[in-house]
Amino acid sequence: MDIPVIIVGNISIGGTGKTPAVIYLIKLLKKAGYKPAVITRGYGGKSIKWPQQVTSQSNTKHVGDEAVLIAKRSNIPVVAGPDRRVDIQYLRSKYNCDVIISDDGLQHYNLHRDIEIVLIDGQRQLGNGWCLPAGPLRESSRRLKSVDFVLYNEGFEQNNSHKLLFTQQHQLASVFSMQLSGNTIYSLFFKDKSQHLKELQGQSVHAVTGIGNPSRFYKTLEKHGLNLTKHSFPDHYDFKPINLEFYDEKIIIMTEKDAVKCHEFAPKNCWFLPVDTQMDDKFDRLLLNKLKRL
């Protein structure tokens, strides 16, 4: 294929931070002068026709929550569909892109790839190290040796000793740090309203999630001094208005990925917390150099 394909995936089930990493890559590539586009499975989408072009206004029921969030945050072409090769053909027939990012798809082996990036959740790492169904792994940990970059998602708190131990344990040449940041929540009901989490210190709030790894989100809120009533739903959950009815005056805080599914019926006390990503500077340089050589 004459256009580079970068796969951002993982070898374990559950949330590892792929969507924030994809959004970070988009910004990095755009800043370097590239015209990136994204293909994604559209997980959870119920469309009967694929592929689907995704915009910030797309219905998450049709194309999935992650696809809409990426489109909303990046303002670049995003195409969802189960056959990634068809997605690429559709993308190239409509847009003048010069690099394609595949959101997930590491195990989609009939898809051409030039660069493979794997994310590791710093809290759970690789679980018990066993493959499904005995453990959380989609592939053996040996797969990490063959990818181009391993990103160690440390969440909101950096711990270099944990990353170093992981690197040594799996005998990897290098592992790059990825961190998340976010301290301002935004109203789903009042479009231009926001507030810093420190303003809510000591308050009791409802924390609502429909993501693969909710504990990190909860810990972030608790770190800012909030007292949580936790409401954990399955990953990619299709929220209904009744799920946000708690019959009290406490504010509701959810992730940005969940929020894209709730704008139409969110009550006045509903807010979401977007996160941004920081990467190791060395990762940025090596990725751009590798892409340039392609």
Sheet holding 99-103, edge to edge: 52-54, 78-80, 36-40, 99-103, 5-9, 115-121, 149-153, 176-181, 276-279
- DSSP strand E in the chain: where? 5-9, 36-40, 52-54, 78-80, 99-103, 115-121, 149-153, 176-181, 184-187, 194-196, 204-209, 227-232, 252-255, 270-273, 276-279
Taking the chain, what is the end-to-end CA distance rounded to the nearest angstrom? Answer: 11
The answer on 229 and 141 residing in a single domain is no
H/E stretch holding 293? helix 281-293
Total number of domains constituting the chain? 2
Q: Hey, what are 111's tokens?
A: 């898809």
The answer on 189 and 138 residing in a single domain is no
The answer on 43 and 16 residing in a single domain is yes
Three-state secondary structure of 179-208: EEECCEEEECCCCCCEEEHHHHCCCEEEEE
Residue 151 CA neighbour count, 13 Å, CB half: 32
The answer on 210 and 148 residing in a single domain is no
Torsion angles phi and psi, residue 52, rounded to 5: -120, 130
The answer on 142 and 194 residing in a single domain is no
The answer on 209 and 102 residing in a single domain is no
Instruction: Report whether 5 contacts 260 (CB < 8 A).
Output: no
Start-end of H helices in 32-148: 60-63, 65-74, 84-94
d(C-alpha 194, C-alpha 185), whole Å? 6
Residue 140 CB contacts under 8 Å (≥ 6 apart), including other chains: 11, 131
The answer on 57 and 160 residing in a single domain is yes
The answer on 176 and 122 residing in a single domain is yes
Instruction: Note the Cα 113 to chain centre separation in Å.
Output: 20
Pairing between strand 184-187 and 204-209? unpaired
- For the chain, state the CA radius of gyration: 19
d(C-alpha 272, C-alpha 220), whole Å? 13
> pTM here?
0.92
**Per-residue pLDDT tens digits for 234-281:** 988 999 999 999 999 999 999 999 999 999 999 999 999 999 999 989
- Domain of residue 51, residue span: 5-180+277-293
CATH of the domain at 26: 3.40.50.300
Instruction: Report whether 191 contacts 272 (CB < 8 A).
Output: no
**pLDDT value of residue 212:** 83
The answer on 213 and 69 residing in a single domain is no
The answer on 122 and 262 residing in a single domain is no
d(C-alpha 237, C-alpha 62), whole Å? 13
Query: Among 108, 140, 107, 116, which Cα is nearest to 126's?
Result: 140
d(C-alpha 79, C-alpha 81), whole Å? 7
CA 13, 14, 16, 22 torsion-angle sign = positive
Pairing between strand 78-80 and 52-54? antiparallel
Instruction: Report whether 104 contacts 9 (CB < 8 A).
Output: yes
**pLDDT value of residue 160:** 78
The answer on 104 and 35 residing in a single domain is yes
pLDDT in tens, the chain (294 residues): 689 999 999 999 888 889 999 999 999 999 999 999 999 988 778 888 999 999 999 999 999 999 999 999 999 999 999 999 999 999 999 999 999 999 998 999 999 999 999 999 998 999 999 999 999 999 999 999 999 999 999 887 777 788 999 999 999 988 999 999 899 999 999 988 999 999 999 999 999 999 888 988 998 999 999 999 999 999 889 999 999 999 999 999 999 999 999 999 999 999 999 999 999 899 999 999 999 998
- Grouping H, G, I as helix, E, B as strand and the rest as coil, residue 247 is coil
The answer on 57 and 25 residing in a single domain is yes
Q: Hey, what are 179's tokens?
A: 């961190």
